[in-house]
Chains A and B, each alone.
Chain A
Amino acid sequence: MVDRWLRRICACLSLLLAAGLLAPAADARPIDDIRREGVLRVGVNPNFPPMSSYGDDGQLRGFDVDIARALARRLGVRLQLVPTEAAQRVPFLISGRIDLSLGALTITPERQALIDFTIPVHSEAMGVITTDRVAAESWQDLDRADITLVNMRGNQSVELLREKLPAPQRLLVDGNADTIRAIAQGRADALVENVDFFIGFTRNYPDIGWRVLSDPIFSSLCAVGVEKGNDTLRREVNRQLHAMHVEGEIAGLWQRWYAAEMTVPVPAAEIAAGADGGAAGEGGASGYRFAFGQTFERLPYLLGGALVTLQIAFSAFSIGAVIGLFGALGKQYGGPALRRAIGFYVTFVTNTPALVQIFLLYYALPDMGIMLGSLTAVIIGLALNSGAYLTEIIRSGVASVRRAELDAAIVLGLKPVQILWHVMLPHIMRTIFRPLSNFFVWLVLGSSMAALFGVEELTGRAINISSVNLRTIETFMVVGAIYVVLTLVASGALTLLGRHAFGVGRKAG
């Protein structure tokens, strides 16, 4: 028995590894290919006003979009914009999905190991966006344990802030808009980031007393990302960016979208370096090589996430089981009004996605004055789902209890709770144990959606790690394997439990 499970686990692991090793390396498109095909593919963030976002006409617009348009025009090719979330800027380049990556890509050594950069396009100066609820005059005042800083996964500032402001708690979210919403709803107190990029979202919440602490903590430069070793493209873009800087086109576009000058101007020496296209790169390193080292280093962190995953699944399952038990009893024995109410609950919940339900719990309830933390919102959402599905599952079990046995129990003078526990439950459990344990596995897998709300369970931790080490495939192969082990162990344990406690699988006797 154990042997069979072990063999299955090993087999699944090897399949995951094999699937990954088959992935071939991508080819960079040199400038000649781009000219010949006549299309330049540029990655811009779809949710990052005023850099780039969808306008009312459903088209992307913003500073980055105009920069991309100018580059395509100057290169004499058509522009194809590729929506690229912050965490995908580098992976999309590596995979050759895009030729250039915009989206305020800060020049950093980690990124330089994987991609090449052009000369800087603009600077970013980190400041603080907060509200009048928070007593702080400078960024140093935020270094307190009662402060929660919100930040975006994949942003360079995440690691930097761990260094400069170690004391506050952190909330990691996925989008630019989510950071400001988190502060507006009181989930977080401040955002330490490039003020220019985020301040636009504060207009969505006019009732909040927004404040900007202006002293810059740190300033850095953002450039266009190019695939490693694609020197012909990088040097051509350098020449064009140099011209755009010198002709004042970049400053003009910044003024147009930000209605202000750059807080810190791009140094003249950096711009001058682009005049002749800039130095040739070390080249060579194009293509993708698998490296699991950085993922295995974080294995303890990932396993900790697996515990959170189980915690979410157990909590939602327990609450759901209670809801389901009463739901099933109500549906079987309750009056018409109760039956209809339960039917409505089950129909509604099982016909809408759990993800969108949790979106509502998490983002809409605060507008009505009910604030749920991300973990709480996810557990409540999944528990409501479990309750609905388990109502249906348990009802099939309740229906299997014969009327005659209930009558006998009543005649023997058992109290309702005793009837439920001693007479009904054994029957119910034996009928429904298999679907119940299947549902638990579904819940373990489903709890991964908690990652989209910043909960640091297994998938969330994988996203966190991969947005820093940029080893997404490796990280998720390891995480996939952990899920396989987790669910196999859960299935195995539940099968044993069912056999010993409820006699599932034995002949009824």
Chain B
Amino acid sequence: MDSVLAQAPAFFSAGNIAFVLAALWRTIAMTAIGCSLGFVFGLGIAILRRSTIGWLAPARWLAALYVETFRRVPFLVILIMALFALQPVAPQLSLLAIATIAVTLVATAFLSETIRGGLDSVPRQQWEGAAALNFGAWHTLVRVMLPQAMRVILPPASAFVVMFVKDTSLASHLGVVELTFSGKILVNRGFSPVLGFGVILVLYFALSWPLSIAAARLEKRLAAPRHR
């Protein structure tokens, strides 16, 4: 404890604070970009898997395969594979970009299932009604399906994002200087692990707690009309 107090002034130097905040920003960027892209691609996969067009069957099969596989392999393994598979293809990609791609791959798989569940929850009569009113596929999706499905999709999807903020800590293994790795670098420089990792832990909490409160609020707000 004494050593922690003794080190504190040196630890909270302007240089270190800027270093850790830059790392925090990378953690946020990785999650935000990865999960947003994952939502878009996941929506695509969910729509594809619900489509009934005959010649798309192989694509549906591949999509199902993709989703099953990427939900059943640890994120750490996907990170390592993304690193070694992407490097020959695109050597200029930064480690941060590679980690973000790995986040996208996993988020796509998980979010596509969430979105598919949401689309499935829209009663059959709704899209039959849309067809009867001569809505095209696009209008049926945007005007009829999504507005109703979002209510079901958003709570678990936001819970997934809150969960994934913490999983991005594994990207530290690739050498991405995100929040966890910044803590590791400071500890390796000689600062006490209590101080280094403790501060990192608090920062994760400061990031994740408001998000999870917001997610819980969202769930309550969206759920309310269903019980009326």
Are both chains from one complex?
yes
**With A352-B201, A359-B197 in contact, is A472–B80 under 8 Å at CB?**
yes
**With A20-B85, A477-B81 in contact, is A12–B68 under 8 Å at CB?**
yes
- Does B141 have its Cβ within 8 Å of any Cβ on chain A? no
Shortest C-beta distance, A355 to chain B (Å), equals 4
- Does A330 have its Cβ within 8 Å of any Cβ on chain B? no
- Does A197 have its Cβ within 8 Å of any Cβ on chain B? no
Within 8 A of B (CB), among A19-73: 19-20, 23-26, 46-47, 53-54, 56-58
Indicate with 1 or 0, residue by residue over B27-39, a CB within 8 angstroms of chain A CB atoms: 0000000000000
Q: Which bucket holds chain B's interface residue count?
A: 35 or more
- Does B194 have its Cβ within 8 Å of any Cβ on chain A? yes
Partner of A364, one of B72, B188, B190, B194: B194
Indicate with 1 or 0, residue by residue over A4-18, a CB within 8 angstroms of chain B CB atoms: 000010011001100
Indicate with 1 or 0, residue by residue over B83-95, a CB within 8 angstroms of chain A CB atoms: 0110111010001
The answer to whether B88 touches A57, judged by C-beta atoms less than 8 angstroms apart, is no
Within 8 A of A (CB), among B191-205: 192-194, 197-198, 200-201, 204-205
A96 to B92, CA, bound (A): 9
Within 8 A of A (CB), among B146-202: 166-167, 169-170, 172-173, 175, 180, 183-185, 187-190, 192-194, 197-198, 200-201
Closest to A83 in B: B175
Query: Which residues of A are found within 8 Å of B135, using beta-carbon distances?
Result: none
Shortest C-beta distance, A364 to chain B (Å), equals 4
The answer to whether B72 touches A449, judged by C-beta atoms less than 8 angstroms apart, is no
- Does A341 have its Cβ within 8 Å of any Cβ on chain B? no
Total inter-chain residue pairs, C-beta < 8 Å: 164
A143 to B22, CA, bound (A): 46
Query: Which residues of A are found within 8 Å of B80, using beta-carbon distances?
Result: 463, 472, 476
The answer to whether A360 touches B209, judged by C-beta atoms less than 8 angstroms apart, is no
Partner of B72, one of A12, A24, A91, A97: A12
The answer to whether A488 touches B72, judged by C-beta atoms less than 8 angstroms apart, is yes
Query: Which residues of B are found within 8 Å of A96, using beta-carbon distances?
Result: 87-88, 91
Q: Interface residues of A: mostly helix, strand, loop or mixed?
A: helix
- Does B57 have its Cβ within 8 Å of any Cβ on chain A? no
- Does A483 have its Cβ within 8 Å of any Cβ on chain B? yes
The answer to whether A484 touches B173, judged by C-beta atoms less than 8 angstroms apart, is no
Indicate with 1 or 0, residue by residue over A172-215, a CB within 8 angstroms of chain B CB atoms: 00110100000000000000000000000001100000000000
- Does B19 have its Cβ within 8 Å of any Cβ on chain A? yes
Partner of B91, one of A26, A58, A288, A445: A26
- Does A159 have its Cβ within 8 Å of any Cβ on chain B? no
Shortest C-beta distance, B70 to chain A (Å), equals 9
Stretch with Cβ within 8 A of B (4 or more), from A274-282, A293-301, A343-351 = A343-351
- Does A356 have its Cβ within 8 Å of any Cβ on chain B? yes
- Does B15 have its Cβ within 8 Å of any Cβ on chain A? yes
The answer to whether A360 touches B193, judged by C-beta atoms less than 8 angstroms apart, is yes
The answer to whether A356 touches B68, judged by C-beta atoms less than 8 angstroms apart, is no
Within 8 A of B (CB), among A114-137: none
- Does B142 have its Cβ within 8 Å of any Cβ on chain A? no
Query: Which residues of A are found within 8 Å of B95, using beta-carbon distances?
Result: 83
Query: Which residues of A are found within 8 Å of B3, using beta-carbon distances?
Result: 367
Shortest C-beta distance, B160 to chain A (Å), equals 12
A462 to B194, CA, bound (A): 30
- Does B77 have its Cβ within 8 Å of any Cβ on chain A? yes
Query: Which residues of B are found within 8 Å of A353, using beta-carbon distances?
Result: 166-167, 169, 180, 204
The answer to whether A58 touches B170, judged by C-beta atoms less than 8 angstroms apart, is no
Within 8 A of B (CB), among A248-283: none
- Does A398 have its Cβ within 8 Å of any Cβ on chain B? no
The answer to whether B185 touches A23, judged by C-beta atoms less than 8 angstroms apart, is no
Shortest C-beta distance, A298 to chain B (Å), equals 16
- Does B212 have its Cβ within 8 Å of any Cβ on chain A? yes
The answer to whether A58 touches B188, judged by C-beta atoms less than 8 angstroms apart, is no
A455 to B99, CA, bound (A): 23
- Does B69 have its Cβ within 8 Å of any Cβ on chain A? yes
The answer to whether B81 touches A449, judged by C-beta atoms less than 8 angstroms apart, is no
**With A353-B167, A353-B169, A483-B74 in contact, is A91–B190 under 8 Å at CB?**
no
The answer to whether A363 touches B187, judged by C-beta atoms less than 8 angstroms apart, is yes
- Does A155 have its Cβ within 8 Å of any Cβ on chain B? no
A218 to B170, CA, bound (A): 36
The answer to whether A95 touches B84, judged by C-beta atoms less than 8 angstroms apart, is yes
The answer to whether A476 touches B65, judged by C-beta atoms less than 8 angstroms apart, is no
Shortest C-beta distance, A482 to chain B (Å), equals 9
The answer to whether A97 touches B87, judged by C-beta atoms less than 8 angstroms apart, is yes
Partner of B194, one of A94, A367, A445, A459: A367
**With A459-B77, A483-B72 in contact, is A95–B170 under 8 Å at CB?**
no
A441 to B77, CA, bound (A): 15
A350 to B209, CA, bound (A): 9
Query: Which residues of B are found within 8 Å of A479, using beta-carbon distances?
Result: 77
Given A177-B188, A359-B183, 12 other A-B contacts at CB below 8 A?
Answer: A15-B69, A58-B15, A95-B84, A351-B166, A351-B204, A352-B201, A355-B166, A355-B172, A356-B169, A364-B198, A367-B3, A463-B80
- 13 A-B Cβ contacts within 8 A? A11-B68, A24-B89, A25-B88, A348-B205, A351-B208, A352-B204, A354-B166, A355-B172, A363-B193, A445-B75, A448-B76, A480-B77, A484-B73
A-B residue pairs, 4 tightest by C-beta? A95-B87, A448-B74, A353-B166, A363-B193
